[in-house]
Chain A
Amino acid sequence: MIENQKNYLTYPKGIMSWLLTLDHKRIGLMYLFGGLAFFFLGGLLALGMRLELAAPGNDFMSNDTYNNVYTLHGAIMVFLFIIPAIPGALGNILLPLMLGAKDVAFPRLNLASFYLYTLGALFTIYTIIAGGVDTGWTFYTPYSTTSTSNVIPMTMGIFIIGFSSILTGLNFIATIHKMRIPGLTWYKLPLFVWALYGTSLVQITATPVIAITMVLLILERLLGIGIFDPALGGDPVLYQHFFWFYSHPAVYIMILPAFGIVSEIIPVHSRKKIWGYKFIAFSTLSIAFIGFLVWGHHMFTSGQSVFSQIVFSFITYFVGIPTGVKIFSWILTMYRGQVSFTPPMLYALSFLFLFTIGGLTGIFLGAVALDIHLHDTYFVVAHFHYVMQGGTIVAFLGGLHHWWPKSMGTMYNQTVANICCLGVFLGFNGTFFPQFLLGLRGMPRRYATYDPQYADLHNYSSFWSAILGLSIFIAIMNLLWSLRKNNKLDPGTNPWGAMTLEWTHTTSPPHPHNFEEEPVLEHGPYDYDKVIVEPTFKK
């Protein structure tokens, strides 16, 4: 390899070459750093809440402040970090590389998506400066139509970010259909690509509904049109139907790319062909579809008809089938493989534990009779954090560690990364497992104070949340520290011995146009039984 080879990070130069770039890798990096900034902000808000909840009573913030903090924590984490982060950052950087393409199908549209995201983010920042919003991230009516906090700027921001999400989905679908190199048939695609395809389908079919919902909410607030207010002839439960018709599939927008990342990490770090390729691929699509039929399980106490409750509860259980198929396929992939405990693999293993707990407690909540008892308690809080943070964010961190040498051309300190992963795993369980117990004992969510009987568990949860926050912070700092001078890897490096095109056919970091010439497919993405690809790692 030539020493001073061009790569996308250093060529072309100048701030404008970044702001107006059409290169999917640069756009992906901008998404990554934007997302991480909001992750930091959302994380600080979370730690603020845990500090307040460490002891009963309003020691640290007032009830009104607390309402603002949990609303912003939820809205920022969901709409500005988790939903855009994996498809926007890792998806953008990797998708064309995995397909052997020069770029996504519509590079300008890709940049437009990023700027729509930025505009939505500005609305959010305005909301924070203007005094916050106190409705909860779900903006349930009737409160959201009468609250005097900044509901309109925040929902406007979500409306705009929704378009960013739709355009990214559209772009990815066109790219996957049209930009594959010859010979790269559907069943030879890396499973991360299948996951992005499923995600994109959900993004373009569900996201318009949240846009409509936000517009209706704004219209009702501004013009007094009776959509959700019963006094004006509306129906407040209709809001929940609208909201969850998007937001339940949105759970799959968040988790499907995480499944994709885990499907990449596990075979590579076990040096074994993935078990059940087609099962994993099609379970992705079936999760995406079933996800559209279960939204009412968020509404069991809303007063919706009993008939709907039975239907939604019944269909909800079906989600467990494709999800179980995936979990067992990953476990069977590791079985008798050469499992190496590298940072990405440790994150993937943490994912398997945490996501399984999150998924199984979801089955609890899918049962109407149990949900009526557990609704709006800390049990629900713990459940969705096990899925969103223990699942998606842990997988995202794993993916970040897996592809960091590829996208940045540097290697972080692996020992520090492993210790941080352990810290994330312990800190996460320490924070959220007690919350299952709190919920079972009746502690309601969204309260700044509580009875002294809950003090021990809350105190324990707050202590471990500090460990969790610190571990994630150090893990990210460890990655950033690798960017220091004179720490470049050899451009031909393939530290994990991976087989997908982004590792075998281009440099680390990649060429501005991805590949020197169109790659020729030599083997499938996980053919560890046929071909030997040695891990190479030198400075």
Chain B
Amino acid sequence: MAHQHHITPLSIYLTIAATLLFLSGVTVWVSYVDLGAMNIVIAMLIATTKATLVVLFFMHLLWDDKKLLTIFVMSLMFLGIFITITLLDTEFRGGVNPEVKDSINKRAAFYDSLPLTDTHGNPVDEHGSSHHEEDEDHH
């Protein structure tokens, strides 16, 4: 290859490794703190930071051809598109018919007229849970 290989000093590797270990500790610690809706956001933020450090330093993307960095960022962009537009559905569902936003109530009055069964036609117990695992045996 024509381009020069970047030689990373050992100290950088060690610093990054220490940071990663520290962030793992933070992940564990923060899992004991209930932040409500922010739980998932904080956990994902820490995980993303760690992944970014690994990619930039351990995988040398910081010093490599910037085209590779572009491709990497593009893949994140497509993931962003997927998640954002899917959330446009789940967050705005029920805008016209509010009842479609609710989770399924297996004990609703509608079910009183029907025998409680799952999609195989097997009986479902009073609490509304079907015998899923048993069904899987015969394939």
Residue ranges of A at the interface with B (Cβ–Cβ < 8 Å): 142-143, 146, 148-150, 152, 205-206, 209, 221-222, 224, 230-233, 235, 237-238, 241, 245, 292-293, 295-296, 303-308, 311-312
Q: Which residues of chain B come closer than 8 Å to A245, judged between CB atoms?
A: 82, 86
Asked if A305 and B128 sit within 8 Å, CB to CB, the answer is no
Other A-B contacts than A222-B136, A303-B93, A307-B92, 8 sampled, CB-CB below 8 A, are: A146-B135, A148-B120, A224-B133, A231-B118, A237-B89, A241-B89, A293-B85, A306-B96
Q: Which of B16-24, B29-37, B38-46, B98-106 lies at the binding interface?
A: B98-106
Asked if A306 and B139 sit within 8 Å, CB to CB, the answer is no
Bound-state CA distance A148–B137 (Å) is 10
Asked if B129 and A304 sit within 8 Å, CB to CB, the answer is no
Return 17 A-B CB contacts under 8 Å, by A number.
A143-B119, A148-B120, A148-B138, A152-B139, A205-B74, A221-B136, A222-B136, A231-B106, A232-B132, A233-B103, A305-B91, A305-B94, A306-B95, A308-B85, A308-B89, A308-B92, A311-B88
Asked if B119 and A146 sit within 8 Å, CB to CB, the answer is yes
* B47-73 Cβ-contact flags toward A at 8 Å (1 or 0): 000000000000000000000000000
Q: Which residues of chain A come closer than 8 Å to B94, judged between CB atoms?
A: 305
Q: Which residues of chain B come closer than 8 Å to A150, judged between CB atoms?
A: 139
**Contact flag A307-B74 (CB < 8 Å), given A152-B139, A241-B89, A296-B89:** no
Asked if B139 and A304 sit within 8 Å, CB to CB, the answer is no
Asked if B104 and A231 sit within 8 Å, CB to CB, the answer is yes
Our pick among B78, B135, B138 for the contact of A292 (Cβ within 8 Å) is B78
Report the minimum CB–CB distance from A7 to chain B (whole Å): 33
Residue of B nearest to A302 (CB): B89
**Contact flag A303-B100 (CB < 8 Å), given A231-B106, A231-B128, A231-B129:** yes
Report the minimum CB–CB distance from B38 to chain A (whole Å): 20
Residue of A nearest to B86 (CB): A241
Report the minimum CB–CB distance from A525 to chain B (whole Å): 25
Residue of A nearest to B100 (CB): A303
Bound-state CA distance A224–B133 (Å) is 7
Asked if A304 and B106 sit within 8 Å, CB to CB, the answer is no
- Tell me what chain B mostly uses at the interface: helix, strand, loop, or mixed: helix
Asked if B139 and A148 sit within 8 Å, CB to CB, the answer is yes
Asked if B78 and A205 sit within 8 Å, CB to CB, the answer is yes
**Contact flag A304-B78 (CB < 8 Å), given A222-B136, A224-B132:** no
Asked if B89 and A305 sit within 8 Å, CB to CB, the answer is yes
The answer to whether B8 has its CB under 8 Å from any CB of chain A is no
Our pick among B78, B81, B88, B139 for the contact of A305 (Cβ within 8 Å) is B88
Of B86, B89, B100, B129, chain A has the most CB atoms within 10 Å of the CB of: B89
Our pick among A146, A149, A221, A303 for the contact of B118 (Cβ within 8 Å) is A146
Bound-state CA distance A238–B132 (Å) is 20
Of B88, B96, B104, B128, chain A has the most CB atoms within 10 Å of the CB of: B88
**Contact flag A238-B75 (CB < 8 Å), given A146-B119, A146-B120, A305-B94:** no
Asked if B103 and A307 sit within 8 Å, CB to CB, the answer is no
**Contact flag A293-B81 (CB < 8 Å), given A231-B106, A306-B92:** yes
The answer to whether B27 has its CB under 8 Å from any CB of chain A is no
Bound-state CA distance A305–B86 (Å) is 10
Asked if B85 and A296 sit within 8 Å, CB to CB, the answer is yes
Bound-state CA distance A222–B104 (Å) is 23
Residue of B nearest to A201 (CB): B74
Q: Which residues of chain B come closer than 8 Å to A304, judged between CB atoms?
A: 89, 93
Bound-state CA distance A380–B95 (Å) is 28
Bound-state CA distance A292–B86 (Å) is 12
Asked if A209 and B82 sit within 8 Å, CB to CB, the answer is yes
Residue of B nearest to A229 (CB): B132
Asked if B88 and A142 sit within 8 Å, CB to CB, the answer is no
Report the minimum CB–CB distance from A244 to chain B (whole Å): 10
Bound-state CA distance A312–B81 (Å) is 13
Bound-state CA distance A467–B30 (Å) is 68
Asked if A205 and B92 sit within 8 Å, CB to CB, the answer is no
Report the minimum CB–CB distance from A71 to chain B (whole Å): 16
Report the minimum CB–CB distance from A291 to chain B (whole Å): 11
8 smallest beta-carbon distances between A and B, as pairs: A305-B92, A307-B92, A305-B93, A308-B89, A304-B89, A146-B119, A241-B86, A224-B132
Q: Which residues of chain B come closer than 8 Å to A233, judged between CB atoms?
A: 103
The answer to whether B15 has its CB under 8 Å from any CB of chain A is no
The answer to whether B11 has its CB under 8 Å from any CB of chain A is no
Asked if A305 and B104 sit within 8 Å, CB to CB, the answer is no
Q: Which residues of chain A come closer than 8 Å to B91, judged between CB atoms?
A: 305
Our pick among B82, B85, B104, B138 for the contact of A311 (Cβ within 8 Å) is B85
Residue of A nearest to B96 (CB): A306
Asked if A235 and B132 sit within 8 Å, CB to CB, the answer is no
Q: Which residues of chain A come closer than 8 Å to B90, judged between CB atoms?
A: 235, 238, 305
Report the minimum CB–CB distance from B127 to chain A (whole Å): 11
Q: Which residues of chain B come closer than 8 Å to A308, judged between CB atoms?
A: 85, 88-89, 92
Residue of A nearest to B103 (CB): A230
Q: Which residues of chain B come closer than 8 Å to A231, judged between CB atoms?
A: 104, 106, 118, 128-130
Which of chain B's residues 105-139 have a Cβ closer than 8 Å to chain A?
106, 118-120, 128-130, 132-133, 135-136, 138-139
Asked if B81 and A307 sit within 8 Å, CB to CB, the answer is no
Q: Which residues of chain B come closer than 8 Å to A306, judged between CB atoms?
A: 92, 95-96
Report the minimum CB–CB distance from A346 to chain B (whole Å): 39
Q: Which residues of chain B come closer than 8 Å to A311, judged between CB atoms?
A: 85, 88
Of B82, B85, B96, chain A has the most CB atoms within 10 Å of the CB of: B85
Bound-state CA distance A218–B137 (Å) is 14
Residue of B nearest to A295 (CB): B85
Q: Which residues of chain B come closer than 8 Å to A235, judged between CB atoms?
A: 90
